[in-house]
Copies of this chain bind each other. A is one copy, B any other.
Amino acid sequence: MIPTLAWTPEGVRFIDQTRLPLEESYVLATTYEQVADVIVTMVVRGAPAIGVSAAYGVALGALRSTAASTHEFAPEFERVCACLAGTRPTAVNLFWAIDRMKRCFAALRAADSSMATVKEELLAEAHAMYEEDIAACKTMGAFGGALLPDEGGVLTHCNAGALATCGYGTALGVIRSAIEQGKKINVYADETRPFLQGARLTAWELMADHIPTTVICDNMAASLMRAGKIQAVVVGADRIAANGDAANKIGTYNVAILAKEHGIPFYVAAPWSTIDMATPTGDLIPIEERPAVEVTHHGGRQLTPNGVGIRNPAFDVTPAKYITAIITERGVLRPPYGESLKRMNETAK
């Protein structure tokens, strides 16, 4: 099992995803500020992993508090939540996780719980989210694995794998499950500039599982599709709007258009916590612009001339019309997503 993040008596231990694949090192976050820092610097990344990390961050905020009572702790709790919510804007799982911790705290406060109980229960809630995340990945893997062909190439973009979740993965969980179902899948991994999550992380974790993997530059996908090498595309998501538009790592929208043009199915795999029924369309999803240095430099080495303009949006939005199916732990959704998402949302209430 790939140790994306794990609770320890001292705090949360993260594998440092900025140093993979050549170095397997770990970062221990013992305070909520350190968890926030780990999210901002992308030591941990991936929408589901960010959500659970933030939940543990909130729990650490309570555990490290010297407040004498739950009442005294309340404003501190708000500061902890605000700090963690301010780390990254696009992935909705972050806000979903913090909201869930807020609801947990509100219930504890309403029940006049002691600080000892608050500490215990907030940590238990984070643990529950961790376990639920792995279970959701396994379930959506089973649903999604059934959609993949018995044999062929599957393209994925960025890393929606064990490293983006608490384990198993969303898009890579679908691939893992297909292989467990006896299918012969070889994976093409977009390297995913500028942060190279595909070249570094997807390649690393699939090789650890002995899954045949070929890394390509992002711009090679169309020619491989035309050559008949790719039978399906599976990606993750950072936020899915109520109409099915899906925000995911920059370049996902490119891949979706290429898949459509070549008649290849394009699947999005994400836990239900990624679905944001409060955001009507993808146009309303905030897109994080990351520092230019991620594009201009690699490993401290400058690639571009001084002073040139740079764009570095970390995400793009794939309109629903390009998505063949959305795979969640509650089931597989088909277009029109406005209706199918609404129906599944109401069923689950």
Contacts and interface: CB of A to CB of B under 8 A. Distances in A.
Contact of A258 (B190, B213, B254, B310): B254
Q: Assembly of this chain: how many copies?
A: 2
A203 to B, nearest CB: 5
Interface in A201-224: 203-204, 207, 212-224
A137 to B, nearest CB: 22
A220 B303 contact: no
Interface stretch (A39-47, A81-89, A294-302): A294-302
Contacts of A307: 207
Contacts of A303: 191, 196, 199-200, 298
A180 to B, nearest CB: 21
B308 A213 contact: yes
A305 to B, nearest CB: 4
A194 B220 CA distance: 10
Contacts of A219: 157, 190, 192-193, 218-219, 250-251, 254
Interface stretch (A50-58, A62-70, A311-319): A311-319
A310 B215 contact: yes
A229 to B, nearest CB: 9
Contacts of A207: 305, 307-308
B304 A253 contact: no
Contacts of A222: 251, 253-254, 257, 316
A220 B313 contact: yes
A226 interface: yes
Interface residues of A, number: 55
A295 B217 CA distance: 7
Interface string A93-135: 0000000000000000000000000000000000000000000
A261 to B, nearest CB: 5
B298 A220 contact: no
A224 to B, nearest CB: 7
A280 interface: no
A309 interface: yes
Nearest to A192: B219
A335 interface: no
Nearest to A260: B261
Contacts of A301: 298-299, 301
A196 to B, nearest CB: 6
A21 interface: yes
A311 B253 contact: no
Which of A188, A215, A261 counts the most chain B CB atoms within 10 A?
Answer: A215
Nearest to A221: B254
A327 to B, nearest CB: 22
A305 B203 contact: yes
Given A193-B193, A196-B303, A207-B305, A311 B216 contact: yes
Contact of A223 (B200, B299, B313): B313
A254 B253 contact: no
A284 interface: no
Contacts of A311: 188, 214-216, 220, 224
A207 B254 CA distance: 28
A299 B303 CA distance: 9
8 contacts: A22-B302, A188-B311, A203-B308, A212-B309, A217-B218, A220-B311, A223-B313, A257-B257
